[in-house]
Homo-oligomer: A and B are copies of this chain.
Amino acid sequence: MNLALFQNENILSQSDERIRVCLKNRQHEHIVKIQKLGPGREIQIGLLNGNMGRGLIVEQDQDSTTIEVSLSSEPPAANPIKLILALPRPLMLKRVLQSAVSMGVKEIHLIHSNKVEKSYWQSPQISDEEIFQQALLGLEQGVDTVLPKISKHLRFRPFVEDQLPELIENHKAYVAHPSANAKSAKACQQDCYLAVGPEGGFTDYEVEKFEQAGMQTLSLGPRILRVETAVPVLLAKLAN
């Protein structure tokens, strides 16, 4: 937690530029046990979807930490890459979401694909509440306040045929896939869409559908990376 994110429900009082905020549960525990911070100490803090700044811890008891906050700076620029991600298995999803959000990605589409096990969609890890929690952790890691838009698309064809062409209109759009005519990943310097397959990759049929929708294949070379490695690597290469 490099930034403590608070929400409106955490606000105790507000006057001029001073906001008094009360943090409980995970955030309180982290401040006490990991950061070992108490009254009189400063902490980096931000309002969800708002500005960031420094907070002064003014009170602390067993269950909560009260912080006086002044929000003076804007969150960092968004990552220009928007992700289309074949739903990873639940435990990996948590790590991939956190790392993509910590890198500033603001739009993530979780999609079905041939090699995604159908049961993953039933996992409690992909409930809206759980995804929201992972996004918060990613923002707190990456020192950012702007919540990404994360959507779920349980059927491949309706997504790729009906929604994707409109989504990527006027954008560069890539699907990561080692194919003969794949481009190698280079910085795109502008908003673009990137689709990343499941472990085992997209099927040839799926790649063809992405290409029909207007995407180009993009290669990372002969090495095959796990999704949790491929996503940061591709984001690093494309966003530069």
> Which chain A residues have a beta carbon within 8 Å of chain B's beta carbons?
2, 76, 95, 98-99, 102-104, 141-144, 221-226, 228-229, 232-237, 240
Query: With A and B bound together, what is the CA distance between A33 and B100 in angstroms?
Result: 31
Minimum CB distance partner of A223 in chain B: B142
Q: Would you call A98 and B237 a contact (CB within 8 A)?
A: no
**A141→B225 CA distance, assembly (Å):** 6
Determine if B228 and A95 form an interchain contact, defined as CB atoms under 8 angstroms apart: yes
A99–B95 CA distance with the chains assembled, in angstroms: 13
List 7 A-B pairs, minimum CB-CB distance, nearest first.
A236-B236, A99-B229, A233-B236, A142-B223, A232-B232, A2-B224, A232-B233
User: Quick check: A228 and B99 within 8 Å, CB to CB?
Assistant: yes
Do the beta carbons of B103 and A224 come within 8 Å of each other? no
| CB <8 Å contact, B143 and A229 | no
Query: Can you list 16 A-B contacts with CB-CB less than 8 angstroms, sorted by A residue number?
Result: A2-B224, A76-B223, A99-B225, A99-B229, A102-B224, A141-B224, A141-B225, A142-B224, A143-B222, A143-B223, A225-B232, A232-B232, A232-B233, A232-B236, A233-B233, A236-B236
